[in-house]
Structure 1
């Protein structure tokens, strides 16, 4: 049996200097949310009604460089509203013959699928505040140096159990998703910048029946623009073992984001978006 090699994970749950004054008996989920509300950098802050950005990938850019005009590198515009409605708008494509145009559209769909695969993590670690997802009825447990939040959700008539672990200082350290005998464990990493935490990436491992079957490491590069950090590049490394004992397949890809816009009039855009590229699968 070949040795299973998985991406090394580091659990970074040390605090960044924030402190809490309440005792466990006084604290609730709502109080904890209020305490750490200002500890994170994230996009959908209270004044943001919607945001958008153009997206591409290293694979798509290489294709355009080889086959077409290099000014058409970003084929999709992603739009998200405060209410978590999501849309994709197809951008102009270069002039191509029928065969290459079909290939280009197929690659655009692949790009959308790649981005969709990261959306849950991007929502949790950057687009929204980490505590935006737990419902009000979530159970919260305070220990001496950690805070655990547990809740469940229904998806495709199945129940997913979720547990999130924070430091007492409010930094998210681990997320665990459980569905049947499958479990996903995610470890985000943060650094302190301009007085708040910014997520620099995350690692995850997928378990099936107690055995690791796949893993992923994501690293994010940002630029500070006006009053917020904007993600420009996401590097992904993946590892997967389809059958226990088989050699692990390693892959990787890069996503690029640019031209972030906030609070646009998107009425017409969103109507057109649903007819061009489906907003969700």
Structure 2
């Protein structure tokens, strides 16, 4: 375990280290399973599409499982930071977040030129998909999913990956490894190979923001902004591309910009890390309150 800076009560680090990850994950799995079973029963009875209902139910109740786990192990929920948004460099953080959103958006285009090396017909298929996406209508389920994506989802994911795992792994394997491990897991659970680097970079950014502000509410807001922007883009019509040549040119430009962004984002995240406290947020918050 890394040496803890300052006079921080060791018992809190020990309590966080005693939290059982698998126990919490099993409880979350059981919650998801129960929600899914009840959803199927109610859907068969009512004959309605209730997908949004069971997803919302899971994301509403899941945070309570993690908070309960903290309290059962003697860790107060307050150690993850006060719910204040004052004295936060919002302009800087939002600017970096939009850069990461652009990076993630462009990453969806990177795989097409690479895939074309082994499957030349992919350009034709992509062009066909784009032509079908010229007119987008929003139904009730889509709107409800949008609301869930920028309200309940960020709270659950930030509480799990930053508030829970980052704090725990910081005490077990050190800060750098904790950031990498929690961000890798964050990227993996989204099950999107095309957006993997985007999720990974965002996970690192959220971790550094949490470490820097010592308040989980800040990465929650940034995460919510990301999901809101991403959800809105699904309602936008696709680019008016009419030929494979136009598609290839657009994807080439996207690839070039994407490759240029990689070192820029890496440098920004590195600078953030160098100027970030090396203690976990729960240690810093306990030191402040002691």
Taking structure 1 as the reference length, what is the TM-score of the superposition? 0.24
Query: If each structure's helix is expressed as a fraction of its own residues, which one has the higher value?
Result: 2
Query: If each structure's strand is expressed as a fraction of its own residues, which one has the higher value?
Result: 1
Larger Rg: 2
Taking structure 2 as the reference length, what is the TM-score of the superposition? 0.24
